[in-house]
Amino acid sequence: MRKIITNEKLGESYTYIKHSSGLSIYVFPKEGYSSSYAIFGTKYGSIHTCFKRSDKDSFNKIPEGTAHFLEHKLFESEDINADELFAKTGAQSNAYTTFDRTCYLFSCSNNFAENLEILLNFVRSPYFTAETVKKEQGIIAQEINMYKDSPGWQSLFNLLRAVYKNHPVNIDIAGTVDSISQITPETLYTCYNTFYNLNNMVLAVAGDVDAEIVIEKADKILKPTDDISIDTIFEDEPETVVKPYIEEKLSVSVPVFAFGFKEPIKTERSTAEILTKSIILDILASKTSPLYKELLDEGLINSEFEAEYFTGTGFAVTLFSGESSDPKKVAQKIVAETVKIKERGISREDFERSRKKLYGQSIMSFNDIQGIANELVATHFKGDDLFSEFNILSGLTLEDVNKALKNTFNENAHSLSVILPK
């Protein structure tokens, strides 16, 4: 099946192909671009620690960090490392694991077809042995220990542990040294055969690309897979936080903090909800906001301060982070400002300014081929299309945002994570 999706206002279009193998493919050509970008992703991340295939009777409970471990191992086959193959063609390759997906990617100025073949081949050719798994356990253990010394990383995951009691978002994406020591080749094959089913995956390419070449390579390499469904179990999560405050000491000159309000528990957030929360946070804490100016004038923050709507499958936190000599005072002022904004509501002037800002950013994003391909993957897994954000921003109203504001910033469900100097 092939379908062309067009947005006439933007003057942009892309092609969706449901390949015979079960894989969903998106091709977004950009005329005049000399480079190409491809990303091959699966809906499998660090939070998927307990799951069952529809064709099996029992659930699998796997060690924390397995998705990230599997990402590392796929680059190695019996004969060669995929990075070496990409280097020979002049392409830049990478991969990443998040809470809810794993992606493999490359960018190149030449040899797109050859690089696409490398990408599809190595992701579809798992090779795990006891010896290679043991070697990787040592490498990832070093990576885990390295992140323990990262103030920003630790402040975020300490916050998630303070906010979430049961949801696996409170687990470090790479797991722990103990958890990865329990991973075996059988563990990796179980997870691969479950989540790397092509019906659970997506390929997105953008830039100097041709849909016919992409289909040709997919036809050559990808074989049909059974369309199984995957049940994932998450324990019930309370509306309250685990603890209001958590701290750790590391080698920092200025305290680093992460402060977040726990949002109501939902399986998924719609694009419209995410956009309304983004507008609220932009008005409350962007660099043009009264709160930012007040905190800056009092010397409580620096330019590192930022706010974001941190969300994924089953979790959402309105998050503020940065550096401060007095993180507790910053948190107090944020809480006070959220009370004020909820009492008075958002003005039409502030709403329109923020909406137009996000609207402009949405338009500009179509000039970035990496951003386009990454967003195609993200929207596919959410069940949206690439133009959803642009279309929603066009019709979003002040009433929508003020309604969402009422369910934001729960005064009884927030936590502060601080990294203090040793």
Q: Which of 151, 43, 149, 139 is nearest to 99 (CA)?
A: 43
Given the residues 71, 76, 337, 389, select the one marked as catalytic.
Answer: 71
Known catalytic residue: 298?
Answer: no
What count of other Cβ atoms lies within 10 Å of the Cβ of residue 32? 6
CA distances from 109 to 43, 89, 115, 207, 418 (A): 28, 10, 10, 10, 44
d(CA 308, CA 290): 17
User: Is residue 22 within 8 Å of 198, Cβ to Cβ?
Assistant: yes
Tokens at residue 183, please?
């991973």
d(CA 251, CA 419): 9
User: Is residue 77 within 8 Å of 127, Cβ to Cβ?
Assistant: yes
- The runs of H, that is alpha helices, within 18-129 are 66-74, 82-89, 112-123
- The runs of H, that is alpha helices, within 298-387 are 327-344, 348-364, 369-382
**Residues with catalytic function:** 71
